Chains A and B, each alone.
Chain A
C-alpha cells in the first residue's frame, strides 16, 4: 500500500526523532482515513465466489441475469441426531466452520470465538451456526453431543454436524475452506480456521479468521449488516 524502498547507503544512525514521528504520523493518518471511508450502516456486503451471466428471453428480449456461487443442498446429522439440511437454514443467515473435537492446534481458539457469536445471537431466531467435523469417524453423534453439552450450547442454535466423509469434504470446497487428512499435521488433519458468513439465499458474504478476535468482531458487524438486509427484504 505504501511506497517503501530501501537504499543501500541508508544507515541506522541517520534517523532523528523527528523523522520517526513524521513516519508514524503518516501511518496513523492513512489508517484513519482508510477506516473512515464508509460507515457500517450503509455498507453492503459483497457476494463471494464465481459469477456467471445467464441469458434468458422475456417477450422476445434477451435479459442477462448474474448467477452467483451458491451453497448447494446438503444433508447432515447434528448432535441431537436431527437431520440438518438447507431447510434448517432457510430464511436465516448462518456462520459455518470446519473442525474436529480432538484438534489440538487452532480449534479451541475457533470454538472460543464461535462461543462469542453464539452468546451474542443466541436469542436471535434468524441466526444459525453450523460446525462440521472433518473427522466423522471419531466425531460421532455421541461425541458431538458430549462436546456441545459440555460447552452448554443448544442444538437449535449451534448444530455440530457429522455425516458421510466425502460429503463433508465436498461441502468444505463449496465454502472455499481447505480441509484435508494429513498425518503430518497435529491431530491428523489440516484445515483452515475460517468462518464463513452465508446469507438467506445461501450466498457467501464474507470470510474471517476464526482464531482472531478482531476479525470475529468484524464478522459480527457484518452479521448485523446482513440481518438488516434480511429484515428489509422481509418487509
Chain B
C-alpha cells in the first residue's frame, strides 16, 4: 500500500506543478519571451555579464533610450554603448521573429522587473516605433 501512496503523492505534485506553470505561462508572455530569447545573455536576474553584456536590472539605458528599445530588440545592436557608466561593445543579435505585440509584452516585462519601475508601453506606441526604425537596420 505504501507504494501506491507514494505514487499518488508524486502524481499530485506533478499535477500541481503543471497547473501552476500553465497559469503563469498564460499570464506572463513577457517573462516567457525573456526566458526564451534574452536570459541566456542578460541572466535570470537581469544582471548581464560583467563588462561584456549590460544589465537590464536598474539600467539607466532603459529610461534614457526608452524610445529606441523596440528597434534594439528587433534588430539587435553593436558598437559601443554606455550603460550605468560602463562601456560595452559586443554584438547583440536581433529577435527578428517577434511581432509588435510580443515586443510590447517583453518591453513591459523588462521595464517593470528586476527592480525596474518604469512606465509601460502601449501596442500602438511600439508599432509606431518599429515602423520608424533607423535605416541602417535595413541592411542587416
Contacts and interface: CB of A to CB of B under 8 A. Distances in A.
B6 to A, nearest CB: 5
A206 to B, nearest CB: 24
Interface string B1-36: 001111111111101000000000000000000000
Contacts of B50: 112, 115, 150-152
Interface residues of A, number: 32
A4 B12 contact: no
Contact of B11 (A15, A21, A22): A15
A4 B41 contact: no
Interface string A14-35: 1100011111101100000000
Contact of B40 (A6, A105, A115, A149): A105
Contacts, number: 82
Contact of B93 (A20, A22, A24, A104): A104
Interface of A: 2-7, 10, 12, 14-15, 19-24, 26-27, 102, 104-106, 108-109, 111-112, 115, 147, 149-152
A147 B43 contact: no
Contacts of B49: 108, 111-112, 115, 151
Contact of B43 (A24, A105, A108, A151): A108
B9 A150 contact: no
Contacts of A23: 5-10, 12-13
Contact of A20 (B9, B43, B53, B89): B9
Q: Which 4 A/B pairs are nearest by Cβ-Cβ distance?
A: A23-B9, A150-B51, A15-B8, A20-B12
Given A23-B5, A112-B49, A115-B50, A104 B40 contact: yes
Given A104-B93, A111-B49, A19 B8 contact: yes
B98 interface: no
Chain A interface main SS type: helix
A22 B6 CA distance: 7
B7 A108 contact: no
B52 A111 contact: yes
Contacts of A109: 40, 43
10 contacts: A4-B6, A4-B10, A12-B15, A15-B11, A104-B40, A108-B49, A150-B50, A150-B52, A150-B88, A151-B51
Given A19-B5, A150-B51, A104 B12 contact: no
B52 A147 contact: yes
B67 interface: no
Contact of B9 (A7, A10, A24, A112): A24
A3 B10 CA distance: 11
A192 B100 CA distance: 34
Given A3-B3, A10-B11, A23-B12, 15 more contacts: A5-B7, A6-B7, A15-B8, A19-B9, A22-B6, A23-B10, A24-B9, A24-B13, A27-B9, A102-B91, A104-B41, A108-B43, A109-B40, A151-B50, A151-B51
